Structure 1
């Protein structure tokens, strides 16, 4: 929270969760797989047509879900190590997934599909695009219908950063020694790689619904480890981080004016969730909560 002032923050305040939303994208896509609209083996090219020609012919939905596609990233965190220094041009125009095509284009592949894990923001925007084209339904409505509604997440939605409601926390970052809003640093409306706004209570509702099979039935397949990520001391499933040695499942996000981590232990049914409207704000509390 900016300026260290928590007086106006209520338990139902909505925070942007940055990449925490990737899990919702994954589940929307996997619900389409369940319904036969997509397959894990569906190639991106089969739905992209002539768009994004640098994405290899053999890149599949599963590669994108597991960050093993090798595609070049419009927001490459190996290059942009200080997230607050990254500015998106014409952020106000990024209100649809299709509007991201110019940003996604022109990035050469890093490696062959399936070769290794490499976290890729753009891959989840591509997933949103594939889901839209396969289903004929816009990404935001897909998430609302297939994730938020069955999970009972009544306070969670895609909010425009230039017209946030009174119950949503504005994201802040330090610029020229002053805390300023992050409105120029992020797309005005979140898409597949994250940025949805939610509350701590809704995140708890999500975990309960997810592990009850209310969103997709085969939960075990979603959280089955696909990749070891030793540099993060974690593993990765289909859109979800996994603890390196326990059954705990994690959603996490970090962006200009946002930080978030939620960990759920299905064995005990316990959830810890930390939300902040600054980039570093969540991490001291996350560390204090980590055994």
Structure 2
């Protein structure tokens, strides 16, 4: 019981208000709707967004388009969807909670906290280097995402992979560079971190996630159901854009998601993701020292940085927002918050393998946090940078 009490104290810790570089103007819902229309024009059947403002006391939802093409039904802003790499943010929090409890040290070799044989003997890779994608580990998904987008997906969508098998696929390629020397996004890092969570908590990843994050925050519509193949609640169909764009969109909704495991298999809703980000940035999940580490960024491109399982985007108005984006077959999502937790947005499109959709979603952030669409030059730069992130997230 003492351990449970200690964890509760960590989860209940509050931080003082932390201001952004500039005060955020009110969300511009007219401009938000216009930017969501651009997402549909880019090729997504539907798109839905939820904005929580003033620490969740003011909520706005907008949805456009169809959640099911065949049925002709509208997309709902309350439905579940696969969040893809936003899962990494949750995995990072689990690791940083262990750091806050002094069970794990960021700059210690990760192998100390892993089952034997996960990483090569004497691997110098540290926990921090896994969290910030500087480990040099090959991304095993590059071996899975081969051939045509749909035909390749069909080869692994219903397979159940063991996490150690995924890591072994990466390790056989050897180190890609000296750990710590540069940034290179790799899903392997967060599968290794999931195994670390299991070893250091003595719990399956799904159980640790439930006990340490989902239950304390009341995220009742967020689930890690690997290897079950279906979403447990009402949801929009997730469509995969075919390589030949003239072909019909492909229903990619059901899959085990075991191939992404703790790097991308979570299911959630716009409301739950906004609540999670608000709790995280207001100190309800991590002690101040660990939250600061998570939010300490190294530049990735001209408008973004990456911390410990967290991205930062600097918007045209000077405001920086924090969170993560996710691409998984069928869905592309952004979930971001101000640093002080006063405003969050989650926007999800039910189409993947479409970088134009992903870039259009990126442009949604400006009306929400800056109160206006970005100037043309800033939109052009954000679109280019979104293309780089899309390659990271999707491997294509």
Aligned residues: 287
1:110-121 equivalence runs, <5 A: 110-121=176-187
Q: Per-residue deviation at 1:257?
A: 1.4
Moved more, 5-14 or 88-97: 88-97
Structure 1 CA distance for aligned equivalents of residues 147 and 281 of structure 2: 34
TM-score normalised to structure 2 length: 0.64
| Pair 1:36–1:49, CA change in 2 (3 A) | same
1:75 aligns with 2:141: yes
1:63-102 equivalence runs, <5 A: 63-76=129-142, 86-87=152-153, 89-94=155-160, 97-98=163-164, 100-102=166-168
Q: Per-residue deviation at 1:211?
A: 1.6
Residues 68-97 of structure 1, C-alpha deviations (whole Å, 9 max, x = no match): 1011110249x9799767538554343653
Are the equivalent residues in 1 in contact too, given 2:278–2:344 (CA < 8 A)?
no
**Which residue is 2:363 aligned to?**
287
**Which residue is 2:381 aligned to?**
none
Larger radius of gyration: 2
Q: Flag the structure with higher helix content.
A: 2
1:162 aligns with 2:229: yes
Are the equivalent residues in 1 in contact too, given 2:80–2:269 (CA < 8 A)?
yes
Are the equivalent residues in 2 in contact too, given 1:235–1:242 (CA < 8 A)?
yes
Structure 2 CA distance for aligned equivalents of residues 60 and 206 of structure 1: 27
1:263 aligns with 2:263: no
1:27 aligns with 2:93: yes
Are the equivalent residues in 2 in contact too, given 1:173–1:179 (CA < 8 A)?
yes
Q: Per-residue deviation at 1:181?
A: 2.5
SS of corresponding position for 1:204: helix
TM-score normalised to structure 1 length: 0.85
| Pair 1:249–1:209, CA change in 2 (3 A) | same
| Pair 1:265–1:136, CA change in 2 (3 A) | same
Structure 1 CA distance for aligned equivalents of residues 253 and 76 of structure 2: 22
SS of corresponding position for 1:13: coil
1:186-201 equivalence runs, <5 A: 187-188=257-258, 191-201=261-271
| Pair 1:170–1:142, CA change in 2 (3 A) | farther
Residues 96-135 of structure 1, C-alpha deviations (whole Å, 9 max, x = no match): 5345344444122110110011111111111111221222
Structure 1 residue ranges without an equivalent (≥5) = none
Structure 2 residue ranges without an equivalent (≥5) = 1-43, 47-64, 68-72, 367-373, 375-396
Moved more, 90-99 or 156-165: 90-99
Q: Per-residue deviation at 1:159?
A: 3.4
Structure 1 CA distance for aligned equivalents of residues 158 and 147 of structure 2: 24
**Which residue is 1:9 aligned to?**
75
Q: 2:299 aligns with which of 228, 232, 252?
A: 228
1:174 aligns with 2:241: yes
